[in-house]
Amino acid sequence: MTLRLTGLLAMLFLLAGAQDAAAALRKIEQAYELDLAQVTLPAVAGGSLTLRRCASCAPELLRLDAQAMFQVLPGTGSVSLDTLRREAARLSHRPRTSLFVYFDPRSAIVRRIVLDATQ
């Protein structure tokens, strides 16, 4: 009986700890998966990009800072903004080409942009 009570108390403590951990979760990054036509890439690093989440949605403006990273394929190394813009223009008519925009939801600063034509 004592062993059963000890096990029950241990489970209650674990559940109480898990509830506290869930309350501490906060969103540190948000991402959009967009068609190339939904995004206007910045002309220069440190600029801003404009996106529309849907055809009838209002445009949104997100800023880029000096730490923003650009990738042409998921999981590859960083490329320059010029390379990303060139590849996006080259692939703009290819079906199922997506642009993933990852940003900090509190500051609306873009952390990375990934061009994915592998889908």
Each domain of the chain, given as residue ranges in start order, spans 30-116
**Which residue did the predictor score with more confidence, 21 or 27?**
27
Confirm if 114 and 99 have CB atoms less than 8 A apart: yes
Token code pair at residue 67: 């730490």
Q: What angle do CA 75, 77, 80 make, to 5 degrees?
A: 125
- Which tens digit of pLDDT belongs to each residue from 42-82? 998 889 999 999 989 999 999 999 899 999 987 788 999 99
Q: What is the DSSP letter of 111?
A: E
Sequence letter at residue 53: R
For the entire predicted model, the pTM comes to 0.75
